[in-house]
Amino acid sequence: MTQFAEILASRPLLADGAMGTVLYARGIFINRCYDELNLSDPGLILSVHEEYLQAGAEILETNTFGANRIRLSRYGLAGKMAEINAAGARLARQAVNNLKEKQAGEAWVAGSIGPLGVRLEPLGKTGLDEARAAFAEQMQILVDGGVDLLIVETMPALNEARQALEAAHKVAPHLPIVVMVTVDDEITCLDGASPQQAAALLTEWGASAVGVNCSTGPTTVLTAIEAMRPATRLPLAAMPNAGVPRAVEGRNIYLCSPEYMASFARKAVTAGAQIVGGCCGTTPNHIRAMRSAIRAMDETAPIEVSGTVTVANPETPPAPIAARSRVGSLLSSGEFLTLVEIVPPRGIDCSKEIEGSSLMAQLGVHAINVYDSPHASARMSAQSLCIQIQQHTGIETVLNYICRDRNIFSIQSDLLGASSIGLHNVLCVTGDPLKLGNYPDATVVFDVDSIGLVNIVHSLNQGLDIGANSIGTSTNFTIGVAANPGAPDLENELRRFAYKVEAGAEYAITQPVFDLNLLERFLERIKDHKIPVIAGIWPLTSLRNAEYMKNDLRVAMPEEIMLRMAQADSPEAARSEGTKIAQEMLKAVRPYVQGVQVSAPFGLFNVAGEVIASVLPQGKNTIPGMM
């Protein structure tokens, strides 16, 4: 809208404050879908809009922040997406028209677009095309409803903001598009990008104005805006929360006073903000005080931008896979790789695991894969055991790393630390469900699954953190993933495998193989992906162990093997038969794969050594203490 752009260029404009805060104060429970009130209580929404206009707001946001199909589906309201957004645009326009009829001023209706509430690829399961479609669908309804501009706000990540911008350009190329990110206490976007990077990239991607909203209060937003100013010539928008909420008698209260927000408004305009408003905790009283503060200021002079910011950080790609680790070297050369998988202890004494790893090193096993929190049990950290094994035995380790219990920041911290202490092989795994473990009531994180984890590790291997900021050098990880040839839903397993390879996986380790036909079929289906596959081998120890793997863990187990284990008439015979089955399977899979990973069941390293002995170097296939 040309008129809006012209006025914005000439003076600062005041936006409204929080819709949810006012609704909460009026007794609307927070478990309600506030966007749906456009339909069920339109008079309430209209009255809030009118209060903000009476307070002096010149930009009125529609009550549609969470009205995209994905967020509405959580309330069972996805089917009402169009109605809710159309009503939101209509109510805001009605409030503005009522203002004009009273000759009380002029205001513009901004279609409010919030984040989708899901994580996008590469860190999540929602595709970029899906995200664009969801944004475009909501925007189209708002545009059809007659909004004057679109405000894309509280964006947690730049890749999501970009999808919203691309959708807006397609749906409404004629409308101004304001895009605001949110930042943390360290003045960093939630995906790790700096405000300067955000401003420069959003400018490059075609925003009409850029800025910061929500966050932890006025001081944080003001600092971010000041950082953005040299990075863009676009108008800036600053709309903070009224401080950090405090629990007062069971209610979350924002304690920043109207006077403090007025002080912020003056400072924000001085720093170059041309749109100023409020987010959570901001009421009509705050907006009224901010309006008075802005009116008292002299007309803002045109802002001169003194420089530009270099956005792209240089990548520092990893060394060739052959130079990163022994595992990487063997994978690169095509040599048959031998791994033994062990489980960390439940306490702090890992002498047994170190002794067993030393035995495997003496035999000529190439590396030890340390399982991370197997079956959701509390054990010594895999990272700690890995480094102790390397220090005491000299054998290389593979860090089995799950993402169930970690957010994307702790994942990044862990991996940076692992690289710095000499761990160079990572197996990226989603993690067992907590119901399998001894703490079924514990909470999970799952910011990402194994596909997103591979993307994070691959980014670190390029010398960049998740916000595309340089970390100085590559982490040089050799990246492995898990695969399940016997998955009940094989098509989904194949899709996920393809995504893992696309994300940067360099080899795969399968679940324990007991059915050669399943493995052959799986390898045939993934042959175009061209990464080495390591077959998992598990020496069964008893019929009960076989039943647990088949029925509880859903490992494909032929009836022939179940029968052989059932015929064993003693614990020793069962263990011997399980070892024999594992040896047979190892020999059967060898022509099809580039290596094997033999598990040491229940800490039985001698059993693992006995199974793997047939593929070990000559002269190293005698197990100490066993003939």
Mean pLDDT (the chain) is 89
Is residue 375 very low, low, confident or very high in pLDDT (cuts 50, 70, 90)? low
Question: Strand pairing partners for 534?
Answer: 509, 595
* Rounded CA separation 395/225 (Å): 51
* Rounded CA separation 112/32 (Å): 18
Q: Which CATH number goes with the domain that contains 345?
A: 3.20.20.220
Q: Which range among 219-228, 269-278, 301-310, 475-484 shows the weakest confidence by mean pLDDT?
A: 301-310
Q: What is the pTM of this model?
A: 0.71
* 3-state secondary structure (DSSP) of residue 486: coil
Q: Which CATH number goes with the domain that contains 124?
A: 3.20.20.330
Is residue 549 very low, low, confident or very high in pLDDT (cuts 50, 70, 90)? confident
> Residue 549 carries which DSSP code?
I
Question: Do 151 and 49 share a domain, yes or no?
Answer: yes
Question: Do 272 and 393 share a domain, yes or no?
Answer: no
Q: Which range among 47-51, 124-128, 353-357, 604-608 shows the weakest confidence by mean pLDDT?
A: 124-128
Question: Do 434 and 291 share a domain, yes or no?
Answer: no
Instruction: Answer yes or no: are the C-beta atoms of 516 and 461 closer than 8 Å.
Output: no
Q: Around Cβ 31, how many Cβ atoms within 10 Å?
A: 6
Is 359 a domain residue? yes
* Rounded CA separation 15/38 (Å): 20
Question: Do 277 and 343 share a domain, yes or no?
Answer: no
Question: Looking up tokens 């420089």, which residue turns up?
Answer: 307
Last residue of a domain, one of 277, 295, 313: 295
Question: Do 165 and 286 share a domain, yes or no?
Answer: yes
What is the per-residue pLDDT for 279?
92
Question: Do 122 and 167 share a domain, yes or no?
Answer: yes
Question: Do 273 and 341 share a domain, yes or no?
Answer: no
What is the per-residue pLDDT for 352?
95
Is 569 a domain residue? no
How would you label 566-605 residue by residue, b for 16+ Cβ within 10 Å and e otherwise? Answer: eebeeeeebbebbbebbbebbeebeeebbbbbbbbbeebb
* Rounded CA separation 382/404 (Å): 14
Instruction: Answer yes or no: are the C-beta atoms of 451 and 496 closer than 8 Å.
Output: yes
* Host H or E run for residue 327: helix 326-333
Question: Do 432 and 474 share a domain, yes or no?
Answer: yes
Is 304 a domain residue? no
How would you label 243-256 residue by residue, b for 16+ Cβ within 10 Å and e otherwise? Answer: bbbeeeeeeeebeb
pLDDT over threshold 60, residue 222: yes
Question: Do 135 and 264 share a domain, yes or no?
Answer: yes
Is 64 a domain residue? yes
* Rounded CA separation 19/283 (Å): 8
Is 555 a domain residue? no
For 13, what's the count of Cα atoms within 13 Å in the CB-facing half-sphere?
A: 26
Burial of 562 per CB tally in 10 Å (0-12, 13-18, 19+):
middle
Last residue of a domain, one of 279, 295, 311: 295
* Host H or E run for residue 508: strand 507-512
pLDDT over threshold 90, residue 87: yes
**626 or 402: whose pLDDT is higher?**
402
What pLDDT, in 10s, does the model give residues 145-160? 999 999 999 999 999 9
Portion of the chain with pLDDT greater than 70, in percent: 91
Task: Choose among 403, 373, 377: nearest CA to 385.
Answer: 373
What pLDDT, in 10s, does the model give residues 109-151? 999 999 999 988 878 888 999 999 999 999 999 999 999 999 9
Instruction: Answer yes or no: are the C-beta atoms of 540 and 582 closer than 8 Å.
Output: yes
Burial of 551 per CB tally in 10 Å (0-12, 13-18, 19+):
exposed
Is residue 620 very low, low, confident or very high in pLDDT (cuts 50, 70, 90)? low
* 3-state secondary structure (DSSP) of residue 537: strand
Question: Do 439 and 505 share a domain, yes or no?
Answer: yes
What is the per-residue pLDDT for 101?
79
Is 552 a domain residue? no
Question: Looking up tokens 């004629």, which residue turns up?
Answer: 174
Question: Do 121 and 35 share a domain, yes or no?
Answer: yes
Is 326 a domain residue? yes
Last residue of a domain, one of 280, 295, 310: 295
pLDDT over threshold 80, residue 308: no
pLDDT over threshold 50, residue 306: no
Both structure tokens of 28: 């609307």
Domain residues for 374?
Answer: 321-541+579-614
Phi, psi of 499 (to 5 degrees): -65, -40
What is the per-residue pLDDT for 312?
53
Is 123 a domain residue? yes
- Tell me the H-state helices in 37-103: 37-40, 42-55, 69-72, 81-101
105: left (phi over 0), alpha (psi -120 to 50) or beta: left
Task: Name 302's Cβ contacts closer than 8 Å, sequence gap at least 6.
Answer: none
What is the per-residue pLDDT for 305?
44
Number of domains in the chain: 2
**Number of residues that this document lists for the chain:** 627
> Mean per-residue pLDDT for 189-197?
89
* Rounded CA separation 192/183 (Å): 9
Q: Which range among 175-184, 302-311, 508-517 shows the weakest confidence by mean pLDDT?
A: 302-311
Question: Do 288 and 341 share a domain, yes or no?
Answer: no
What is the per-residue pLDDT for 56?
93
What is the per-residue pLDDT for 125?
82
> Mean per-residue pLDDT for 593-600?
95
What is the per-residue pLDDT for 302?
43
Task: Choose among 192, 272, 293, 259: nearest CA to 226.
Answer: 272
Q: In the chain, how many H helices and how many E strands?
A: 24, 18
Instruction: Answer yes or no: are the C-beta atoms of 433 and 377 closer than 8 Å.
Output: no
What is the per-residue pLDDT for 31?
82
